[in-house]
A and B are shown apart, each in its own frame.
Chain A
């Protein structure tokens, strides 16, 4: 992942780099981010944030992550992935009812009913949903808190946010559009 920060304030740039790199290192979706670009000008005041990301992974259905074993009273669903287990349990509680679902061990759940087609096709993990949640978290943490006037622009695989505490100027939107096309603003241009 490439992290680029542009700012007329050199010291502020260093500090922002420290802040953003910590935010990104703690994020669960950092693997999907290809480039993270920030233009920050505190004098205007303006922050433009551009995130280029790639969608990774596939949608996982219930039947993909769970193996079923026949039992006397129903079926035993086995899911050996710890991260997906809570979602598997949530689907079972919702569709079958918690009174008919009993967790036998860390990986095994006893279901006292036959599993319907609807349950087997239920989505357990959707990477695009996870990615969006992760990106929103990064955006909220990165943009200065007082910059509450924001404009979001999006194309496939890229999101650009213009944020300020004053009204957003036309020229800033043009800058953001330029960034959206892939031409980054360089401090030297200002």
Chain B
């Protein structure tokens, strides 16, 4: 059993932790540098967590649990205008990121209004490429109930936020949220973010349960692609390979690298034998999805 963790600390000697994780049989899911600081999402075997903690203490860093590590979450807002950005959508996306998720913000082109709200084909496909989608709606019950109709084509688990207290079937709903125009800074507001994170966590757990025991975990596929296709490190994205619950997103164009990705060797087989490799709706990205 692996435990996902987030390490925050200085760049100096961080490779020692990286080496320890690899020696223990764990993986580094994501590594981000911010000047002299480094943030690493790691997963390590449960029995070795104490050894990692000891090392982090030596490095004077910080270690947190990351319940959402290895998941890709879409935070969907009606538009990317001043009504929804930077609050509350960025606050939610950032909070999920701190819990270990790779969150992407999706601003809809026709998401405003009650009667007008709809999803385009591209948006549907894009959201369905994620593991969980968080839809952020507004203040009025009537509008939210109307708007819920746009979610019917979404096949991934959905969390909806809004102000009124309503019961919604088939999805998790976080009330008391609505249209926030200020920063989430009070304790009660942070609690709301925590509620969203908990709802997302439950969706992730459910999806993991649905997927069952995965023989070759996505982070192993990530490590092998990184090793066998070195060009991926040259991708400009901060996370050239994003780990999802049921595969990985490789930020390399399918037309050029699709065949190479298919042929990546994992243990005694190749990726194409147990994964679907297809182009993402996002230009220049390829999806590798485990066949379950």
Contact = CB atoms under 8 A, between A and B. Distances in A.
Given A11-B141, A45-B114, A146-B113, A18 B79 contact: no
Nearest to B177: A15
B160 to A, nearest CB: 15
Contacts of A58: none
Size class of B's contact patch?
A: 20 to 34
Interface in A17-39: 18-19, 22-23, 26
Interface string A54-76: 00000000000000000000000
Contacts of A9: 140-142, 164
A141 B114 contact: no
Among A11, A45, A147, residue most surrounded by chain B Cβ atoms (within 10 Å) = A11
A64 to B, nearest CB: 34
Interface in B76-117: 78-79, 81-83, 112-117
Contacts of A18: 178, 180
Nearest to A141: B82
A15 B82 contact: no
A145 B140 contact: no
B170 interface: no
A148 B113 CA distance: 9
B138 to A, nearest CB: 7
A12 B164 CA distance: 7
A132 B143 CA distance: 31
A166 interface: yes
Nearest to B87: A22
Nearest to B164: A11
Interface in A137-190: 140-141, 144-148, 165-166
A137 to B, nearest CB: 9
Contacts of B163: 11-12, 14-15
B195 interface: no
A42 interface: yes
B262 interface: no
Contacts of B81: 145
Nearest to B139: A15
Interface string B224-258: 00000000000000000000000000000000000
B51 interface: no
A145 B142 contact: no
Nearest to B162: A15
B260 interface: no
Contacts of A22: 180-182
A110 interface: no
A146 B181 CA distance: 17
Contact of B112 (A11, A14, A145): A145
B84 to A, nearest CB: 8
A19 B180 contact: yes
Interface of A: 9, 11-12, 14-16, 18-19, 22-23, 26, 40, 42-43, 45, 140-141, 144-148, 165-166
Given A141-B82, A144-B113, 15 more contacts: A9-B140, A9-B142, A11-B165, A12-B141, A12-B142, A12-B164, A15-B138, A15-B140, A18-B180, A22-B181, A22-B182, A42-B140, A42-B142, A42-B143, A146-B112
